[in-house]
Structure 1
Amino acid sequence: MPTNISVQSLFPALKYDNLSTPSVNLSNKTFIGIDFGTSTTVVTIATLGSGEKGLSTEAIWLNQKLVDGTVMSSEKIPTVVAWYNEQLLVGEGASDLKYVLKKGVNVWYSFKMELGEDLGPKYFNSELNKSSKYTIQTPKDAAKVFFTYLKAQIDRYIASKNLPTHIQYAVSIPASFEANQRKELVQALEQNGISVNKQALIDEPNAAFLSYVQQSSATGQALKLPDNYNLNVLVFDFGAGTCDVSILEIGKDHQGIYSKNLSISKFEKLGGDDIDRYLVLEYLLPQLWIENGLTKKDFRTPEINKSLVPKLLKAAEQLKIMICNTVGLQMSERILPATAVSTTTVSLGYSIEIDTSKGLLTLTEPKLTYKQFADAMAVFTKVGNQRSTTKGIGQDEFISVYNPIYSALNKANLPKNDVDYVLFIGGSSKNPYIQASLKDYFPESELLIPNDLQTHVSAGAAIHSLVYNGFNKNIIQPITSEPILVITKDETPKVILRAGTTIPCDLIVIDDLVTHTDGQQAIELPVCLGNTSKLLYNIKIVSGDPLGFKKNTAVRLELEVNSDKVLHARASAAGQMVIVEPINPFANKDLTAEERIVLKAERQANVEAEMNGGKPTKDGLKVLFKAYERVENYLRAAETLELLNQLYPQNSNFNYLGVLYSSAGYDDKALEYYEQAFEKDKDATVAFNYAYKLKHKDQLKFKEILEESIELDPEKPHSLYELGSLYKTEGNPEGVKMIQKAFDIWKKEYDTNQLSRNNYGWLSSAAEKLNMKDFAQQVREAAPRFKGDSLYNSENLTQTAVENKLKKV
């Protein structure tokens, strides 16, 4: 006989009769679950009643002050904080100002997704600085202030209902949140007296499943577990800021029904907010440019990102909601209607004005067609190997929802046709285009869609609070989302903890690592999460012997993961104990060497700006633009240098700005700065740069300025090459001689290893002009590639001993 799946069947001890047992006392406690969302937060109370009432949950209605001072109440509180007219607003009132005020200055939102990133005082120009009653200079500060308000509202509700004041909390978080993100969230909670025990954090998909099981069984629509068959449930949690996918197995064993995690998707910053941003970049900004006779090249990226885009996000969200509501009402059996791809236009019926450096811009009628929205959604529902799209300002990467789906299926080693149910959760899951796509992808699965996708997770967190805090049990045991690796001299990294390991886990001892050479002064054990781009620690053991470690010295590595998914590691070799230094505060991101350089510079710039009263410092901006230039992000380098020139005009370098804008492909801006530089300084290099930008605009002036450059410096190879090429096309025999002279100058530098990185291309081009094609190819292949700062010395790595001795203790 099939068995009904309910919270009580998953946890038989959950009975009202147990309230009176000596080991359980629920009567003097209030069990609360908090769903801390990117856009919306919900708080729910769970109670265990007698008789048929059983387990029940109820969302708390929270008071929120509006801009005009009136108070409204709702079970949903926008996760937004604002400082307006010398008063702090949290929730709906702050949300109304979300796109009116300046993010990071006097309004803060989406800070959940910024937790765990050590960028120093990211909001360095915040109006709530260290001298304020409330300080918000980091995402953690914003979370702390938000929870201060939330705790006061919870206490008010508890008092008004005469409930026990001994409150036990559970908080839901993205399943793929990692240690640094969890740590900052817990600190923000605990600083407000919201104490969470070691496993009182529950993964959002698990909370969603508990809530669905409770509600479906309470309404007589419980899921059925057949005899001799295990169910696979894929929980698709698509909110404003994250897309989390968990796969659960529901089965029977000798103890009854069980549920366990099979896998958790890789962390992805992907949510409804990304859809809004894509709509702005792809459709609304172009509408704004056209209406005002401008292009994106008329603005620096920071102004577009911090001023223009935020002013258009609300319109994008409203257009999205209008289209989704209409399509959703017409949709049947999760199949999109013809309207979903029609050319019918949806308009908001109001205009938007934006004050910019180019004056007041107006977008008279923000609008979208259904077809445009369908094309946008195709980016987020792209199936196959190419599952990301780069678009717009700052080269934003937009990821398909199938990234986390594939991640979870692959980790569980589960074919998609073996998924029995797909449970939708999160506000963005209401999107009919998403629902239709997943229906097509999972044709053998039944889709489960709760009535309220936004309050659902909070109810599951409250159930977890009651079960865990009341009975010290977990209905669904948490697991690790990614494998833990150590980089060695071996061909592939060594997996020391598999993805999907139940936590807390037993102590793991690795004792089959050895040194690879005599005289090693240090041993380094880079420990990574998921892949070698996510470095957690570089565990370094320094030899106490001047002669260093001997070859094949045994190295012992011990690791354990606690219930908060925090890794503890230690190592020893030849009697020397470890020095453990956390190397990467951005553990939730895959970082290239280039990205590490930029993040370090951004942090330094933020720290210096905060210490300088919110104004970026000259030194901080110099370090930052050099970092951008070093990693070849020339647009950001140019814009940062331009800001440096504006704030500190005595340092203006127009030629350098021209070079950076030229490298970024902004030729008009480059020409503008080269012209200013040439007027200021008659230098051969400046003259060449100016002339080069005139090459396809004004041939006569191009030739004139090149000749002036050579007059200033007859040995300027770039000018010799370009003018020589021009003379050659004109039939002037001096042309080939000039190209040869330029080639000889660069070739001499090449032969003595003094050729600059940028001149490899010039040398290969000169060789081509002189019919030295083989040498031109040789130069192209020899061109140096970017080398970032190494976070460890590869010569200090260990290797696996011949005899494998991996064992668990």
Structure 2
Amino acid sequence: MATDINIKSLFPALRNTQVARPATDIFNTSFIGIDFGTSTTVVSIATIDKGTKEISTKPIWLNQKLDDGAIMSSEKIPTVIAWYNNQLLVGKGAADLKYQLKKGVNVWYSFKMELGEDLGSKYYNSELDRNSSSPILNPKDAAKVFFQYLKAQIDRYIRTNNLPTNMQFAVSIPASFEANQRKELIFALEQNGISINKQSLIDEPNAAFLSYVQVSSSENNPLTLPEGDNPKVLVFDFGAGTCDVSILELGKDLNGIYSKNLSISKFEKLGGDDIDRLIAIDFLFPQLLKESGKSHEDFRTPEKNRIVTQLLKPAEQLKIMICENISLKMSNRILPNESISKDYVSVGNRVEIDTRKGLLTLSEPKLSYAEFNEAMKAFLKSTSLVPYRTKNVTDEFATIFSPIQTALKKASLSKDEIDYVLFIGGSSKNPYVQAALKEHFKESELLIPRDLQTHVSAGASIHSLIYNGFNKNIIQPITSEPFLVITKDETPKVILKAGTHIPCDLIVIDDLVTSQDGQQAIELPICLGNVNKLLYNIKIVSSSSSGFKRNTPVKLELEITTDKLLLARATSIGQSVMVEPINPFANKELTTEQRIVLKAERQANIEAEQNGGKPTKAGLEALYKAYEKVGNDLRAAETLELLNEIYPSIHNYNQIGVLFSSAGYDEKALEYYELAYQKDKDATTAFNYAYKLKSKDKAKFKEILEESLRLEPDKPHSLYELGKLLKREQDPKGKEMIQKAFESWKRKFESNRMSESDYSWLSSAADELGMRDFAQQVRDSKPKFNGEKLYNSENLTITSREEGIIKK
């Protein structure tokens, strides 16, 4: 016999005649649930009927000031802050100015997804600086200001409606939000008197499930649990900034109906905002350039990004128009033929964007259904999980099937074993997304609530009532990724599995030992998910000059708190070390190269903020060198170009040209090489200018090469290029010049004095002289960037084969 699934069946205490031992006075407490969204935030309140014990929820209407001073009220508040006409706007008024003002200067949005990224004063030229009453210099500041406004509106609602002033809160967040993101969110909440106790944070998919259970039950259409079956529910949460997937299992045990997490997808910065951005990059930006008679090479990456930002509003409008039109014609979640037609929709508003190259104009931003369908393919690929990369403005866009596949894999389930797919998040309204999931989950029933944007806050308020009121958690949260320690073993050692229920008991790992005698330090790098996401490096330094002996036991103790924070301690021969996270970007997988760049960006931001919002010379120099070091020549060139604009020097022209040339931007390289030749003439600037003229003006190419050799007769690069030219003209001097250049580079090679670029020149000269084996030897010996290690691999431990167990 099937059993209805409702809040009472999941939490049997509510069925009792007398509500059993509440943790607080539940009838004199306001239980608040906040769905803190990337684009929209919703607040709900849950109450319980004294007689029936039925729980009911309703969204709270929040007042929001418009830019003209008028007040409007809605249950949805855009997660946007603006500083306009010397007044602070939060919500609708700020959202209306979102694309008119400058992000990070006088308008702030999408800061939820930036929490946990310690980039210093990311908004270094913010108009709300340290001297303001509400400074906003980083995402944590923005969240603090936003919740200050939200708390004031909640207080007003409670007073106006004569509700209990004793308030208990729960806040819904992405299931894959990680420790540093949670930590900064909790800080912003607590700074505004929104106290969060233990498990008051609830994963958004879990909150959505609670809300759906309550609503479907109240409408007499409940989910059912067949006898002897354990249905699986995949919760697909596609919002403005996140795509979170959780898989729940429903079942029955001695305590009644239960619901438990089976898996959570890995953190994926993917949402509806990305669809807007891809439309802006791939379709509107080319329209803008064509109408304005410009090329994408006319603009540096930061300016391209600013232009794209100003195209996001029409991109979003076009997306909404197409989705609404298709939804009206959609039947049974199957797309109509119009979804791939060449018919256009257009936004009447003319777009004008002021740039360094003058005013850019787009008279009529437009998009065809076929183009939108093409854009959606990047997000709906199920056969390949490789992100789609744009070209003119470099960006990457993941597919929604990436988090779906990771969640299924962690739960050891196939797509055909999913009974229900529950949609949440505003971006789940997209008909192309619904059609793709219907096609993918052919054996599953799709559950689509009437209001995809408000029911998460309702679920959060239910959680607030049950957890804060009864100290119970209907769905126990789990870890989304495994924790690993890097050792000298072949593979990293798993010290905590993905899917572990939290909070968990103390875990002790005591099968690690040192690997060599005389080891001065023991290092235990702890990662989340994989080795590119380093959280800690626990380091124990020997108190003895003789160091640690080989096979010295090392004990590692771990604990996951209710807020998903990892506590770790390591001990060896009486020495104990407890650590704080070392990685300020724990929510990102980072290569060594990315760490180097982020460190430089952070320092540049801090210095710019301290310099009154103007980037410092030292900060920009360090940043361009960091980009150059890791091989991002375009960003290095653009950063050095910016440095030269703010702090002019003719000696920068040649290096800017070199970097643009390495990045493949030949026209920009030629522009700067010519400037260097004119303003700072020597053999090198003459050669570089000549080299860029090679395919454009052969006569001038030869003329300036000869000028380079007059300035420096032994310049090997000029000798080689002029030698090749003369050789083709059957002039015997050509081979002599190539030989002379070869000998010059070879001497440097043999004395280990080669620059990185000279390896390719020497190997080319060797090829030209018929020395193929030597040319290959040179190519093979070119040094490769190995990065900067965050730990010393010689200090790693190794798993003892003879003894040791993992204890709980």
Q: TM-score range by the shorter chain?
A: over 0.9
Deviation at 1:15, TM superposition (A): 4.3
Distance 2:173 2:67 in 1: 30
260-269 or 760-769: bigger deviation? 760-769
**SS of match in other structure, 1:395:** coil
Distance 2:577 2:737 in 1: 62
- Paired residue for 1:75? 75
- Paired residue for 1:201? 201
Count of residue correspondences: 808
Q: Does 1:654 align with 2:648?
A: no
* Deviation by residue 1:208-238 (Cα, 9 ceiling, x = unmatched): 1111111001101101110001000000000
20-29 or 746-755: bigger deviation? 20-29
Aligned AA for 1:754? R
Instruction: Identify if the C-alpha distance between structure 1 residues 660 and 225 changes in structure 2 by more than 3 Å, giving closer, same or farther.
Output: same
Instruction: Identify if the C-alpha distance between structure 1 residues 592 and 395 changes in structure 2 by more than 3 Å, giving closer, same or farther.
Output: same
Deviation at 1:16, TM superposition (A): 7.6
Distance 1:355 1:269 in 2: 30
Q: Is the 8 A contact 1:14 1:467 kept in 2?
A: no
Q: Does 1:112 align with 2:92?
A: no
Q: Does 1:5 align with 2:5?
A: yes
Distance 1:46 1:9 in 2: 18
Q: Is the 8 A contact 1:16 1:50 kept in 2?
A: no
Distance 2:91 2:229 in 1: 46
Distance 2:271 2:262 in 1: 23
How do 1:660-679 and structure 2 match up within 5 A? 660-679=659-678
Q: Is the 8 A contact 1:6 1:213 kept in 2?
A: yes
Instruction: Identify if the C-alpha distance between structure 1 residues 146 and 17 changes in structure 2 by more than 3 Å, giving closer, same or farther.
Output: farther
400-409 or 14-23: bigger deviation? 14-23
How do 1:19-418 and structure 2 match up within 5 A? 19=19, 21=21, 25-51=25-51, 54-306=54-306, 308-392=307-391, 395-418=394-417
Q: Is the 8 A contact 1:125 1:614 kept in 2?
A: yes
Distance 2:661 2:376 in 1: 34
How do 1:619-768 and structure 2 match up within 5 A? 619-650=618-649, 653-768=652-767
Deviation at 1:36, TM superposition (A): 0.2
* Deviation by residue 1:309-338 (Cα, 9 ceiling, x = unmatched): 121100000000000011111111111110
Distance 2:391 2:15 in 1: 56
Instruction: Identify if the C-alpha distance between structure 1 residues 23 and 424 changes in structure 2 by more than 3 Å, giving closer, same or farther.
Output: closer
- Paired residue for 2:774? 775
**SS of match in other structure, 2:706:** helix
Q: Is the 8 A contact 1:483 1:498 kept in 2?
A: yes
107-116 or 701-710: bigger deviation? 701-710
* Deviation by residue 1:586-622 (Cα, 9 ceiling, x = unmatched): 1110000110001010110111111111111111111
Distance 1:43 1:216 in 2: 20
Deviation at 1:753, TM superposition (A): 2.0
Q: Is the 8 A contact 2:27 2:50 kept in 1?
A: no
Aligned AA for 1:239? G
* Deviation by residue 1:146-183 (Cα, 9 ceiling, x = unmatched): 00000000000000110000100000000000000000
Unaligned runs of 5+ in 2: none
Q: Is the 8 A contact 1:540 1:579 kept in 2?
A: no
Instruction: Identify if the C-alpha distance between structure 1 residues 23 and 713 changes in structure 2 by more than 3 Å, giving closer, same or farther.
Output: closer
**SS of match in other structure, 2:170:** strand
Deviation at 1:778, TM superposition (A): 2.3
- Paired residue for 2:799? 800
* Deviation by residue 1:274-330 (Cα, 9 ceiling, x = unmatched): 111100110000000000110111111111212x11211000000000000111111
Deviation at 1:207, TM superposition (A): 0.5
Deviation at 1:456, TM superposition (A): 1.3
Aligned AA for 2:113? M
- Paired residue for 1:522? 521
Distance 1:149 1:703 in 2: 68
- Paired residue for 2:504? 505
Q: Is the 8 A contact 2:410 2:498 kept in 1?
A: yes
Q: Is the 8 A contact 1:19 1:26 kept in 2?
A: no
Q: Does 1:434 align with 2:433?
A: yes
Q: Is the 8 A contact 2:171 2:200 kept in 1?
A: yes
Distance 1:122 1:588 in 2: 17
**SS of match in other structure, 1:577:** strand
547-556 or 6-15: bigger deviation? 6-15
Aligned AA for 1:486? V
Distance 1:352 1:388 in 2: 30
Aligned AA for 2:707? E
Distance 2:109 2:223 in 1: 37
**SS of match in other structure, 1:251:** strand
**SS of match in other structure, 2:550:** coil
Q: Is the 8 A contact 1:334 1:432 kept in 2?
A: yes
263-272 or 633-642: bigger deviation? 633-642
Deviation at 1:384, TM superposition (A): 2.2
**SS of match in other structure, 2:784:** coil
TM-score scaled by length of structure 2: 0.99
Distance 2:641 2:109 in 1: 28
Aligned AA for 1:430? K
TM-score scaled by length of structure 1: 0.98
21-30 or 344-353: bigger deviation? 21-30
Distance 1:22 1:85 in 2: 49
Distance 2:23 2:480 in 1: 33
* Deviation by residue 1:768-787 (Cα, 9 ceiling, x = unmatched): 21222222222222222112
629-638 or 264-273: bigger deviation? 629-638
Distance 1:295 1:394 in 2: 12
Distance 1:503 1:582 in 2: 19
- Paired residue for 1:543? 542
Q: Is the 8 A contact 2:235 2:245 kept in 1?
A: yes
Distance 1:464 1:521 in 2: 50
How do 1:547-558 and structure 2 match up within 5 A? 547-558=546-557
Q: Is the 8 A contact 1:19 1:27 kept in 2?
A: no
Q: Which runs of 4 or more aligned residues in structure 1 lie more than 3 Å from their structure 2 counterparts after TM superposition?
A: 15-24, 50-53
Deviation at 1:14, TM superposition (A): 2.2
- Paired residue for 2:422? 423
737-746 or 607-616: bigger deviation? 737-746
Aligned AA for 2:301? T
Aligned AA for 1:583? I
Distance 1:153 1:684 in 2: 69
* Deviation by residue 1:489-524 (Cα, 9 ceiling, x = unmatched): 000000000000000011111111000000000000
Deviation at 1:19, TM superposition (A): 4.5
Aligned AA for 2:111? F
* Deviation by residue 1:59-85 (Cα, 9 ceiling, x = unmatched): 000000001111000000000000000
Distance 1:326 1:458 in 2: 28
Aligned AA for 1:470? G
Instruction: Identify if the C-alpha distance between structure 1 residues 15 and 30 changes in structure 2 by more than 3 Å, giving closer, same or farther.
Output: farther
**SS of match in other structure, 2:579:** strand
**SS of match in other structure, 2:9:** helix
Instruction: Identify if the C-alpha distance between structure 1 residues 749 and 214 changes in structure 2 by more than 3 Å, giving closer, same or farther.
Output: same
Distance 1:386 1:170 in 2: 34
Q: Is the 8 A contact 2:486 2:525 kept in 1?
A: yes
709-718 or 476-485: bigger deviation? 709-718
Unaligned runs of 5+ in 1: none
614-623 or 37-46: bigger deviation? 614-623
**SS of match in other structure, 1:126:** coil
Identical-residue share of aligned pairs (%): 69
